[in-house]
Amino acid sequence: MKKLTALCVLAVAALFQFAHAAESPVGKWTTIDDETNEPKSVVEIWLDGSELKGKIVSLLKEEDKGKICTKCKGKLKNQPIEGLTFIWGLKEDDGEWTGGKILDPGKGKEYKAKIVVTNGGQNLDVRGFIGFALIGRTQTWNRMQ
């Protein structure tokens, strides 16, 4: 009986850990343009210590490949968009990732950011905003399999 109980506890713990990992923002995502509703790029999200970061791995439209961030400022100016770290500084806070920034390479503007994993880990709601989170825009990205 003790072995069966221990086995059940281990199984539940493993399932909980798997479910928690599936709901992590870490991984590769297909971004969806909130204006055209079409796939735009592939991004990779990772943890650097406790800081969540993201970079643009590839642009999906042929005409976008090779573009540089002409409107960016500082060290990001004229850098290739593919490979560009455009999310940084986010920290986990009760299931949401907040307190960091996201860069819109097309406009060269930085916004405060909030990221939430949704739909059982299959989607990522990414919100960029100025000032308050109520004033901004949200894109829903899809996890790559």
- Evaluate whether residue 37 is within a structural domain: yes
**Residues 69, 108 contacting (CB under 8 angstroms):** yes
The pLDDT score that the predictor gives to residue 11 is: 38
What total of structural domains would you count in the chain?
1
- Evaluate whether residue 128 is within a structural domain: yes
* Cα separation, 86 vs 17, whole angstroms: 29
- Evaluate whether residue 70 is within a structural domain: yes
The residue written with tokens 């901004």 in the block is: 136
Residue 88: band (very low, low, confident or very high) from pLDDT cuts 50, 70, 90: very high
- Evaluate whether residue 118 is within a structural domain: yes
**Residues 78, 114 contacting (CB under 8 angstroms):** no
Residue 94 reports pLDDT greater than 60 = yes
**124: β partners:** 117, 141
- Evaluate whether residue 66 is within a structural domain: yes
- Evaluate whether residue 20 is within a structural domain: no
Residue 96 reports pLDDT greater than 80 = yes
CATH code, domain carrying 96: 2.40.128.520
- Evaluate whether residue 15 is within a structural domain: no
Domain that holds residue 67: 25-143
**pTM reported for the whole predicted model:** 0.82
The 3-state secondary structure of 76-91, one letter per residue: HCCCECCCCEEEEEEE
Structure tokens at 120: 């059982």
